[in-house]
Chain A
Amino acid sequence: MIATIKSEWRKSRFRPAFLVGAALIAGLTVLAFSANWYMATHPGSADHPVLLSSLYPVHFVANVLGAGFPLGAAMAIVLGAIFAGSEYSWGTLKTVLTQGPGRLTSWVGRVVVFVAWMGIMTVVLFVVGGAYSAVIALFQNQTISWPELETIAKGFGVIWLVFAVNGAIGMVLGVVIKQSAAALGIGLVYLLAVEVIAVRFIDSLSNGAFKWIGDLFVGQNAGALISSITPPPVAPSIGAEQALAVLAAYFVALLFIAGGLIRMRDVT
């Protein structure tokens, strides 16, 4: 297992897709903070006024959570699809599987490194978000005060889990389709369109009688878990514990399915 993780890390540490992904996450965070800062300092420039105080470090966790989902999650799907699918298109899966470690060992090693990369992306998100909020506070001559460590840790854990689950969607699609381009396309369409439409439709049926089904979708639970850190005006119908359990179940189930396919299928 250690050998597999070592090998996966060696090939992933300078992988352009991950480096670009981390840079994009940083860029998105900067963009979101910059736009909000502009709107806060130019009243009337937006439909929804932004309070300048909401951009200070004490609130930075809420802001990075907003940048992390759904845009960061979409990036996680893309990275997951590329990470798993390219092994087929480059023909590297056969190289990996003929070296000795079993198929499941290879898969678990790959998952460990991917989840570590999602952790790195989360670190980038939080560091850039925290740093930018400090810059805004300094520019506005405000004293810098940070949120409680528990809030930061919870927010970090939530975003890491959201990235990991969405990355797992990308990975399983990459394994099922055996290439990355179609996998990431399908993953993005699912996250940004199919799930939204499906949940709205299900929730509208029989006066919401089937809402419990809509509450089982990934995006709904990711949103609910994020809301548990930064409560919105209207509380979501899904509790934090349930959201955590559903997302964890998705993560395990998706990776189990992909691992099963890798173990059983011929590599042609």
Chain B
Amino acid sequence: MQNTTIVETHSLSKRYGNGVLAVDSVDMSVRRGEVYGFLGPNGAGKTTTLRMLVGLIKPTSGTATVAGHAPGSPAGLARIGALIEGPGFYPYLSGRENLKVVADLASVPLRRVEEVLDIVELASRAGRKFGTYSTGMKQRLGVAAALLKDPDLLILDEPTNGLDPQGMAEMRKLITDIGQGDRTVLVSSHLLGEVEQVCDRVGVISNGRLVRQSTVRELIGEEGVLVRAQPMDAAQDLLTRMFGPRVVSRRDGALHLDTRPDRSMEINRMLTSAGVGVSELRPYERSLEEVFFQLTGEKQGS
């Protein structure tokens, strides 16, 4: 029976020489054929984790299996295409020549270069020097290089970084197209909309720890409770005392509680017994953004 996971980590950790614990006991599992979003704020440990998966960084502890092999092993790398922290190419060579350099290194036939240039729609500009490329073209060339080996697993680290809205939309479409069929795409991002639109499952990392791993539907599907009451400040104080400050947030003239809707009766009873008038009390579906901010402890709008 074929293994259903293509990336699996157990207690994967990385502590840098300066003592910073960048990745802390990450247990991550990416299934074959899915588009997996690796979500987290800047500095959360996404790039360090991805670097460990392709063997650029050695873990301090823990294990990882990528495409059936240890990270960085030639056999494993032969089945992985990666774009890690921006495209790295030779500025004095054309886009096409840069791809040929990578193709030689990966022992890929040179005819594949034209195929991937077509996929990323860069064929007409492939003769220009890489140093003259726009950010979007550079990112596309990075994706093209990652596709050269026709890999089972494509790892893209923040592929929309530095792109304008149109470039981001094009990149999202490209990722969706690439992710069709059996190929697995592991894409990291701090952009929630991007992940929500292209990914089947997500892993949320915060301060080096993987705080959640599930499908986007499961993550968004978790409901909360919306409360409108008078006086609002008193209601917020009471609910904060009851649930804690991380559960209660106030926006758009309402209180949003990240708790199960079946606690609505309890909330209503507590507020009315304290003399607070409740005008609206109902379940609501949270956005991925809200879930993300709750999981990572980040403040919205910050």
Contacts and interface: CB of A to CB of B under 8 A. Distances in A.
Given A98-B82, A100-B105, 6 more contacts: A3-B104, A7-B105, A90-B89, A91-B87, A101-B105, A266-B56
Nearest to A4: B105
A96 B105 contact: yes
Interface of B: 51, 54-58, 72, 74, 77-78, 80, 82, 84-93, 97, 100-102, 104-107, 145, 149
Contacts of A97: 55-56, 72
Given A93-B88, A101-B74, A268 B57 contact: yes
Contacts of B72: 97
A42 interface: no
A160 B56 CA distance: 34
B97 A98 contact: no
Contacts of A149: none
Contacts of A209: none
A94 B88 contact: yes
A243 B59 CA distance: 44
A90 B77 contact: no
Contacts of B82: 98
B89 A95 contact: yes
Contacts of A233: none
Contact of B102 (A14, A95, A268): A95
B80 to A, nearest CB: 7
Given A10-B97, A94-B56, A3 B92 contact: no
Nearest to B86: A91
A97 B51 CA distance: 11
A200 interface: no
Nearest to A11: B101
A120 to B, nearest CB: 18
Contacts of A101: 74, 105
Interface in A91-114: 91-102, 106
Interface string A133-151: 0000000000000000000
A6 B104 contact: yes
A94 B86 CA distance: 10
Contacts of B107: 3, 100
Given A100-B74, A100-B77, A268 B105 contact: no
A96 B86 CA distance: 14
Interface string A189-208: 00000000000000000000
A167 B201 CA distance: 50
Question: Which of A14, A95, A102, A267 neighbours the largest number of chain B CB atoms within 10 Å of its CB?
Answer: A95
Question: Which of A4, A10, A94, A98 neighbours the largest number of chain B CB atoms within 10 Å of its CB?
Answer: A98
B57 A91 contact: no
Closest 6 CB pairs of A and B: A91-B88, A7-B104, A7-B105, A267-B56, A99-B105, A99-B106
Given A3-B105, A6-B104, A98-B54, A11 B93 contact: yes
A101 B108 CA distance: 12
19 contacts: A3-B105, A3-B106, A4-B105, A10-B100, A14-B93, A90-B91, A91-B88, A94-B56, A94-B84, A94-B85, A95-B87, A95-B145, A97-B72, A98-B54, A98-B77, A99-B105, A100-B105, A101-B105, A266-B51
Contact of B92 (A4, A6, A16): A16
Nearest to B97: A10
B98 to A, nearest CB: 8
Contacts of B54: 98
Contacts of B149: 99-100
A79 B183 CA distance: 42
A14 to B, nearest CB: 7
B15 to A, nearest CB: 11
Given A10-B101, A10-B104, A92 B88 contact: yes
A100 B69 CA distance: 12
Interface string A73-103: 0000000000000000011111111111110
B92 A100 contact: no
Contacts of A266: 51, 56-58
Contacts of B102: 7, 95, 99
A168 to B, nearest CB: 22
B150 to A, nearest CB: 13
A15 B88 CA distance: 16
